[in-house]
Amino acid sequence: MPYLFTSESVSEGHPDKIADQISDALIDHFLAFDSSSKVACETLVTTGQVVLAGEVKSKVYLDVQQIARDVIRRIGYTKSEYMFEANSCGILSAIHEQSPDINQGVERANPEDQGAGDQGMMFGYATSETDNYMPLPLDLSHRILQELSSIRKTHADLMPYLRPDAKSQVTIEYSDDHQPIRIDTIVVSTQHDDFAEDATMLNRIREDIIHILIPRVKDQLPERLQRLFTDQITYHINPTGKFVIGGPHGDTGLTGRKIIVDTYGGRGAHGGGAFSGKDPSKVDRSAAYATRHIAKNLVAAGVCEEILVQVSYAIGVAKPTNIYVNTYGTSKVKLSDGEIALKVNEIFDLRPYAIEKRLKLRSPIYSETAAYGHMGRKPEIKKVQLRDATGQFVEHEVETFTWEKLDYVDKVKAAFGL
């Protein structure tokens, strides 16, 4: 019997995502000036206020207040009526030195023996239902908000009332054999300017979402997915009515509170650890990227149509405590999932140091990950320029989203005889 599955996304202006972006901007700045930095920083945002907290071991001193203001300004909180504005919000920093008890479990005389920064389990997932090997409900949810942000920032004449905060949700109907049949429901809630004629403007927002935003999203997709957009879609546009009060004034935001949005939209599994604000010695982040890299390359190589990969660690220990694979019965090779896991262990070195090196994780690449998902994004080589507390600039050429590269497909095919 067909079934429905739903995923959601939130915009860069959502309070939790503001917090994530500030935390990851701090990570980028620390790594840009001291690539060996160990950082775990959290951010809280609320009405007119930002609180920074966490632990750092680094050689560099940063103007963390200015970094936070720059992020808030880039997102679009630049007007006093938002009750949270880049130039005027208060910023309190309670960042302090990392515990030596934790650090002793990570750093080693031989870098390859670097231990995991904490215990825990991490999951990677991939599916063939989209070209970027992501679950379709989440991919569409992200695309809707990315396009809404693009309209707000670069095509403001189309929807001039938009404010930064927004959420989306997409429900897909699947067949018995887990293939997308149609889009059942699309939910979009977007913050907007205040209006005298509420009913008139709410109707305009609904019409603009359906007739301007959604067609622009649809045009980005291959034909097989465009066919899922029918006239039978149920739309809920700002279903509670007006949405003027938003952002940190409407809801307090915290780093690490959108971990399902950041990963697979509820498909597969999640180990519980957040990503943003953590340097790559924290396997919550680096091993989650590594398992996504594994999962995507295995599906792309034709080992299976869908896969979940789990890895786990003990704090201070380099070698994973397990590697688990579940192909959900979609395997195309004559091996059990346990045997596939053994081959994965042969192909991919999952020690923390090896992950950092393979995926080039000690670079300032994290700000882009902090909104619209860490997975399913396009790898790029680009230059980033960052400034320390003294005003000194440093420029790095970096490669973003390396865990999305299909650079192990040939190795996987060779190992599995494909």
Task: Please state the residue numbers annotated as binding site for L-methionine.
Answer: 55, 98, 251, 282
Which residue numbers belong to the known binding site for Mg(2+)?
A: 16
Which residue numbers belong to the known binding site?
A: 14, 16, 42, 55, 98, 165-167, 242-243, 251, 257-258, 274, 278, 282
Which residue numbers belong to the known binding site for K(+)?
A: 42
Q: Which residues of 140-158 are buried (b: 16+ CB within 10 A; e: fewer)?
A: bbbbbbbbbbebbeeeeee
Tokens 């999932």 belong to 337
d(CA 354, CA 248): 39
Nearest residue to 53 (alpha-carbon basis) of 38, 66, 62, 40: 40
Which residue numbers belong to the known binding site for ATP?
A: 14, 165-167, 242-243, 251, 257-258, 274, 278
- Cα-trace Rg, the chain: 22
- Are the beta carbons of 182 and 4 closer than 8 angstroms? no
Longest pairwise C-alpha distance within the chain: 68
Angle separating helix axes 283-301 and 337-347, nearest 10 degrees: 110
Q: Which residues of 277-291 are buried (b: 16+ CB within 10 A; e: fewer)?
A: bbbbbbbbbbbbbbb
